[in-house]
Amino acid sequence: MINMKMNKPELLAPAGDMESLEAALSFGADAVYLGGRLLQLRASRAAFDDENLIKAVKLAHSRNKKIFVTVNSFAFNDEIALCAEYARFLRDAGVDAAIICDLGVMSEFRKAAPELEIHVSTQANTMNYSAANVLCSLGAKRIVLARELSLDEIRKLRDNIPDDVELEAFVHGAMCMSYSGRCILSSFLTNRSGNRGECSQPCRWNYALVEEKRPGEFFPIYENGEFTTILSSHDLCCIDFLDKLRDAGVTSFKIEGRMKTAYYVATAVNAYRKAIDGADSIENCRAELYALKHRPYSSGFYFGDVVHSHSNDGHYSQDCTFIGNVIGWENGILKLRQRNRFSVGETLEVLSPNLPVIKFEVTEIVNEDGERQDSAPHPNQIVFVPCETELKPGDFLRRRDRV
């Protein structure tokens, strides 16, 4: 169990919609980052419109939590003129900070809304204290570190910047194979720009080597021992060394995943919240993260060069399947929205911010017409299941497929 009671870092969670925002807040995030209508580095479906962004800020602030808005794409000329109005909108909406990478965008924000706190995105590739100090002189309050930094490099950077400047680092989620996300593979192969929030993730495709004079002969690419694959994208997981990140000077632990589901956000936030608070063993917190659908986990660059714990076979794995969202509970009957098929006789687990992980057997499934079913095979179907434990809307159900 990691002791983090002194100088407890912020836990920063992603949200691509209101459901994910609610999950992040309910399961213990201190702050949530999300995208709005302009220059947010994710696809449009992960963007909050103005109305929902204002609602998000009000909801977070009602729980004494913060909202940071990503403005982290590099801007084209015709987008600079839009920045001033957007900065004033975010300020007036009560947003706690804007996450920016483009120096021109940062300048426009500072002129239009100097009261709005600026965090420098990881896309800015801040690798050293000299660059960090320049960004601070331009008004940055927080630096989101480049992903290529080791713990030793973070410590040195921390020792050479003002004490009131915060450092943020990723602790979990997908890792881009390019230099802090600057990549043209997706644009080149699929005409979808990774730098504009549309990445098709070609680094996660399967590749083979072809020799010019041997067309049609495909040589597989393996990872073995000291050798690494040409393209290989593991997922980052820092649950085992959060104390080392804190001691190096990181004040905000960031979870990646604005394109992920609310269930993913809830599970990841729940595990890291318990680890930070010392509310559960690291072994149990780690097991929670293996319950999620994920690529092979890695410690990233924090201990120097990337070390892959085993061969990346190109596939995702998970110990649990997300079964459904709890809608309500009354008199021992659970109302839920099915997300993946489950059947009578199976054992389900409950993921709740208010309870330890509990299990119960499905003894009956009844649909909205009062008809009994042997299984629930239809996505988003509303069904009723007996459950002795009182559950709350926002809790999640899952089935453990692998111990």
Contacting residues for 390 by C-beta, under 8 A, at least 6 apart: 329
Q: 192 in a domain, yes or no?
A: no
Per DSSP (E only), the strands in 139-187 are: 140-144, 166-174
The domain tally of the chain equals: 2
Per-residue pLDDT at 228: 45
Average pLDDT over residues 92-116: 97
Q: 64 in a domain, yes or no?
A: yes
Q: Are residues 344 and 264 in the same domain?
A: no
Segment holding 298, helix H or strand E: strand 297-298
Average pLDDT over residues 204-216: 75
Per-residue pLDDT at 209: 72
Note whether 41 and 35 are within 8 A (CB): yes
Could you report the per-residue pLDDT of 229-251, keeping only the tens digit for each?
556 578 899 999 999 999 999 99
User: Which of 247, 265, 298 finishes a domain?
Assistant: 298
Check pLDDT > 90 for residue 153. yes
Q: HSE, CB side, 13 Å, CA atoms: give it for residue 218.
A: 5
Q: Are residues 41 and 148 in the same domain?
A: yes
CA dist 143 and 135 (Å) reads: 8
Could you report the per-residue pLDDT of 284-341, keeping only the tens digit for each?
999 999 999 998 898 988 998 765 544 555 578 899 999 999 999 999 999 999 999 9
Q: HSE, CB side, 13 Å, CA atoms: give it for residue 241.
A: 16
Q: 166 in a domain, yes or no?
A: yes
Q: In this structure, what CATH number is given to the domain that contains residue 373? A: 2.40.30.10
Per-residue pLDDT at 45: 72
Check pLDDT > 60 for residue 224. no
Q: 217 in a domain, yes or no?
A: no
Over pLDDT 70: what percentage of the chain?
87
Range of the domain at 348: 320-400
Position with higher pLDDT, 338 vs 356:
338
- Could you tell me where the DSSP H helices lie in 94-248? 103-112, 129-137, 151-159, 185-190, 242-248
Contacting residues for 83 by C-beta, under 8 A, at least 6 apart: 38, 75, 105, 108, 109, 112
Q: Are residues 287 and 337 in the same domain?
A: no
Q: Are residues 396 and 259 in the same domain?
A: no
Average pLDDT over residues 40-61: 89
Q: Are residues 159 and 281 in the same domain?
A: yes
Q: Are residues 282 and 324 in the same domain?
A: no
Q: Are residues 244 and 390 in the same domain?
A: no
* Look-up of token digits 């986990």: 297
User: Which of 298, 332, 355 finishes a domain?
Assistant: 298
For the chain, the average pLDDT equals 89
Could you report the per-residue pLDDT of 342-353, keeping only the tens digit for each?
999 999 999 999
Q: Are residues 389 and 240 in the same domain?
A: no
Q: Are residues 294 and 174 in the same domain?
A: yes
Q: Are residues 395 and 280 in the same domain?
A: no
